[in-house]
Chain A
Amino acid sequence: EAAVTQSPRNKVAVTGGKVTLSCNQTNNHNNMYWYRQDTGHGLRLIHYSYGAGSTEKGDIPDGYKASRPSQENFSLILELATPSQTSVYFCASGETRGANSDYTFGSGTRLLVI
């Protein structure tokens, strides 16, 4: 079954440390996305990718980098983690087909920065 798998499920990081969140999809979708979810804000787009080798800034990219080494994998990198980056992060894969666009979300990664 096609799926989006995130790792780790939970992460505790120290302020100033480097954090890498990983995402793997088996949907063969061209597009992949990283969102964060915070109370009162819904899901907000951090970075996205159109395909292997591409990364684009979303609505709130500051403090984050992304990497798309292959069709299947998309990572979110926090070079210098801060407590304000404590959140739940969701990865998604998708195909944009107008009315029939298809998106699949992962189960989320809970990140606590102390």
Chain B
Amino acid sequence: QQKVQQSPESLTVSEGAMASLNCTFSDGTSDNFRWYRQHSGKGLEMLVSIFSDGEKEEGRFTAHLNRASLHVSLHIREPQPSDSAVYLCAVNMGYKLTFGTGTSLLVDP
């Protein structure tokens, strides 16, 4: 069964500084890897989906995937207080989307 772990559990950064979040998974043959953002009490907003090793950029959000290392990261450029939220890593294999437990990001103004 796919295991997805995220680190750190919580992260505080200053407005404008780069924020880096990490996710490790157990099966490198998974189809694709996603990052979602969830503001408090709200639903899931997909930020970026990646399936090839390397990086994929969507606006201020960049995902880096290394299947051999079983690692995918999310980097947020110039974070703003409105980016304060929980960030969820999800790994897709076949029909199934398996989630990590999330990183809570706080961006200080």
Contacts and interface: CB of A to CB of B under 8 A. Distances in A.
Contacts of A44: 99
Contact of A105 (B4, B44, B92): B44
Interface residues of B, number: 23
Nearest to A43: B99
Contacts, number: 54
Contact of A41 (B51, B90, B101): B101
A109 to B, nearest CB: 11
B55 to A, nearest CB: 15
A48 B95 CA distance: 9
Given A41-B101, A42-B88, A107-B43, A101 B32 contact: yes
A90 B44 contact: yes
Given A105-B44, A106-B43, A96 B100 contact: no
Interface in B1-49: 1, 4, 31-32, 34, 42-44, 46
Given A42-B100, A42-B102, A105-B44, A50 B95 contact: yes
B42 A107 contact: yes
A42 to B, nearest CB: 4
A52 interface: no
Interface residues of A, number: 25
Contact of B95 (A31, A59, A108): A31
Interface in B90-107: 90, 92, 94-102
A59 B46 CA distance: 23
Interface of A: 31, 33, 35, 40-45, 48, 50, 59, 90, 92, 94, 96, 98-101, 103, 105-108
Interface of B: 1, 4, 31-32, 34, 42-44, 46, 51-52, 88, 90, 92, 94-102
